[in-house]
Structure 1
Amino acid sequence: MTNRTTRRHFFAVAAASAVAAALHGAALAQPAWPSRPITLIVPYNAGGASDFGARLIASDLSSRLGQPVIVENVAGAGGALGVQRLLRAETDGHTLLYGSLSETVMVPIVNAAAARYRSQDLLPIAMTGKTPVAFVTRPDFPANTMDELVAMLRKRPGGLTYGSPGVGTFQHVMAETVKARTATFMVHIPYRGGSNIVNDVVSGQIDVGVTTAPNVAPLVGAGRIKALGVSSRERIPALKDTQSFGETESLKSLDLQTWGMVFARSGTPDAVVRRLNAAINEVLMQPKTQATLQKAGAALARPLSVEEAKAFFEAEAAAYRPIAERIKPE
């Protein structure tokens, strides 16, 4: 080997060593994740279905990640304020959203002025469950089924009120879809969360509440409110005595359900997203978690990978966009 070749080899090895050292140093400089408590935003009031889902996974998730997972309720504008809170945070995975079809897909379309964000600004991490919407009313309400409610509405157009968690939410769009499908009319009263709706149904402030099954299943079982129907093709175990839309004459072609999903901001590091996905799926597959979900009226057939969660979210956004675009902002 000549001196020139020797020098060339020496400089090549030195350069490679320098690059390796720099990469190793950069890796060491990256802080461990999570390095501080994680905030899990719920975009509705405490006591609703999203709050229930977030708190169900928070404790076990804390144990698996080694940092507290703190649930923070940020209600308003049909869930848009909670999403905006996420989008103001850093893309480091320490602030997450327990989201649903409502504020992640529907609200940016129906109420764009309030939302000021797009579904593409959100990064799906893991799906936590699916549930239908329930139409509920007070025990002495004259109708006992959705078909009977439709008959009442045809006799009294505009004479009844219904509450939803806000303009553009899945529940609002679901009720408007029922009105359009049956050529009927009810006056919409928007709320800041499902728990408030149920309270006003019980007290008679509104006639019908449109909210997710986990919000109402215990109260229906206790006889405090009455469920007229659920928006799925088949009945659900938590409301086994309540007709599904598939059993009705007026709404049997409808089978629409919402879901829970944990989101980060787009741009969150892939390694963080994958660790969160694995940890959340481990929590969801615990027998006690599955039993609690089913009892509440939600279900998760199997955990989704990061890629599957992203594909599911994109497919739902595409499917519901035409429906949401038909709803006029209030």
Structure 2
Amino acid sequence: MNTRSLFLGVTALSVLSITLSQACAQDAAYPSKSITVVVGYPPGGSTDLTGRAVADHLAKSLGVPVVVENASGAGGAIAALKVSKAQPDGYTLLLGANNEIAINKLITPATVKYTYKDFTPVGLVATTPMVLVASNATGVKDASQFLRAVSSKPGRFSYGSSGVGTALHLAGEMVKQQGGLFMTHIPYRGVAPLSIDLVGGGLEYGVFVLSSGLPHIRSGKVVALGVTEKQRSPVAPEIPALAEVPALKNMDIGVWFALMAPPKMPPHILSKLRTALSEVLQTAEFRKRLEESGSTIAPLDVDMDRFLADESSKYQKIVEFAKVKE
């Protein structure tokens, strides 16, 4: 090797060493500035409330400000796409739900330009069941009566949700699939008009997120037929699970919230975020805050890669059954 080649080799190694040292120093210093948690919906909804709770407690755990940015639109897809394209430096995160992370791509594959694989999962935060309800006008009091009534008159009855392709819609389609039912789906522009028609008797059945449905259920304005997850909810243990009825024994679908990061996150930063989230999930104040809103804190040992793959597969089957496309 001549002197010039040796010089160039030593120089390259020096530059590489400096670069690696700088990267390690940056990682070690993380976080050194405020972190943004992006939420794909306007303030006040369940995803936003969960995002703000996570942000408040992450700030305490990490020692830097954590702010929420509401980038609403396209069923959460605008926020999700933004985070999937962000720098993987740990300063831009997504607090998302199943709709924007896993479902939207199945419903609108031509326009949604990412999949759940375009994120680095930090961890599952919480889950909340949905609940199938009946209008008092139907006279139906439980899931068994519901199955008999709908089966006896195929196509006669309708159920409503907060929109096409939402988790609520897919939960209703899963009920149809499991029970062998023929019902018409009526999409509403949000929970408020859906509630009005159910309470007024203009719609026979509907699907709510449990937290949204509980005020109407406990006031007697609608009848709870069952929650959509496999087990009863600790928030409302008096409401049976639909899976308790033999014909619906495989019902298991809920709304979940997860903290996601851009792809290709440095392991050291990802580890810090996962440790911080684990601390948050074990904080009594955080647990109380989410449980009061109807959510159940996620276990700490969830394998997110397996979880997301299983959830996506579940939704794919329902979408294919219902032929849901926008």
TM-score, length-scaled by structure 2: 0.80
User: Are 1:164 and 1:189, in contact at CA under 8 Å, matched by a contact in 2?
Assistant: yes
Question: How do 1:98-137 and structure 2 match up within 5 A?
Answer: 98-137=95-134
C-alpha displacement of 1:128 = 0.8
C-alpha displacement of 1:176 = 0.9
Question: How do 1:255-270 and structure 2 match up within 5 A?
Answer: 255-270=252-267
What's the counterpart of residue 313 of structure 1? 308
User: Are 1:245 and 1:251, in contact at CA under 8 Å, matched by a contact in 2?
Assistant: yes
Partners of 1:287 and 1:170 lie apart in 2 by: 29
Percent identity, aligned pairs only, is 32
The verdict on how the C-alpha distance between 1:288 and 1:121 changes in structure 2, with shifts beyond 3 A counting, is same
Find out whether 1:283 has 2:280 as its counterpart.
yes
Equivalent of 2:90 in 83, 88, 93: 93
Equivalent of 1:38 in 11, 35, 48: 35
The verdict on how the C-alpha distance between 1:93 and 1:318 changes in structure 2, with shifts beyond 3 A counting, is same
User: Are 2:137 and 2:204, in contact at CA under 8 Å, matched by a contact in 1?
Assistant: no
Q: Secondary structure at the match of 2:274?
A: helix
C-alpha displacement of 1:127 = 0.8
Which stretch of the first structure deviates more once superposed, 131-140 or 192-201?
192-201
What is the letter of the counterpart of residue 129 of structure 2? Answer: P
What's the counterpart of residue 5 of structure 2? none
What's the counterpart of residue 188 of structure 1? 185
- 1:176-196 Cα offsets, whole Å, 9 max, x none, are 121123333333344565577
- 1:150-178 Cα offsets, whole Å, 9 max, x none, are 33334554454433343333322221121
Partners of 2:73 and 2:133 lie apart in 1 by: 22
Give the total of aligned pairs.
320
The verdict on how the C-alpha distance between 1:144 and 1:121 changes in structure 2, with shifts beyond 3 A counting, is same
Which stretch of the first structure deviates more once superposed, 288-297 or 191-200?
191-200
Structure 1 residues without counterparts, runs of 5 or longer? 1-10
- 1:48-96 Cα offsets, whole Å, 9 max, x none, are 3322322222211122223332333444444333322333433333222
Q: Secondary structure at the match of 1:227?
A: strand
Q: Secondary structure at the match of 1:268?
A: coil
C-alpha displacement of 1:233 = 2.9
Partners of 1:29 and 1:115 lie apart in 2 by: 33
What's the counterpart of residue 65 of structure 1? 62
User: Are 2:178 and 2:250, in contact at CA under 8 Å, matched by a contact in 1?
Assistant: no
The verdict on how the C-alpha distance between 1:156 and 1:88 changes in structure 2, with shifts beyond 3 A counting, is farther
Partners of 1:38 and 1:131 lie apart in 2 by: 26
Partners of 1:81 and 1:15 lie apart in 2 by: 41
User: Are 2:157 and 2:184, in contact at CA under 8 Å, matched by a contact in 1?
Assistant: yes
Q: Secondary structure at the match of 2:308?
A: helix
The verdict on how the C-alpha distance between 1:77 and 1:151 changes in structure 2, with shifts beyond 3 A counting, is farther
What is the letter of the counterpart of residue 272 of structure 1? Answer: I
What is the letter of the counterpart of residue 304 of structure 2? Answer: A
Partners of 1:260 and 1:173 lie apart in 2 by: 17
C-alpha displacement of 1:36 = 4.1
Which stretch of the first structure deviates more once superposed, 90-99 or 13-22?
13-22
Equivalent of 1:323 in 314, 318, 325: 318
What's the counterpart of residue 210 of structure 2? 213
C-alpha displacement of 1:135 = 1.4
Which stretch of the first structure deviates more once superposed, 289-298 or 27-36?
27-36
- 1:238-260 Cα offsets, whole Å, 9 max, x none, are 12221211222431232333422
Q: Secondary structure at the match of 1:282?
A: helix
What is the letter of the counterpart of residue 120 of structure 2? Answer: L
Which stretch of the first structure deviates more once superposed, 213-222 or 97-106?
213-222
Partners of 2:202 and 2:85 lie apart in 1 by: 36
Q: Secondary structure at the match of 1:113?
A: coil
What is the letter of the counterpart of residue 316 of structure 2? Answer: R
The verdict on how the C-alpha distance between 1:301 and 1:119 changes in structure 2, with shifts beyond 3 A counting, is closer
C-alpha displacement of 1:204 = 5.8
User: Are 2:39 and 2:72, in contact at CA under 8 Å, matched by a contact in 1?
Assistant: yes
Partners of 1:266 and 1:161 lie apart in 2 by: 41
Which stretch of the first structure deviates more once superposed, 73-82 or 62-71?
73-82
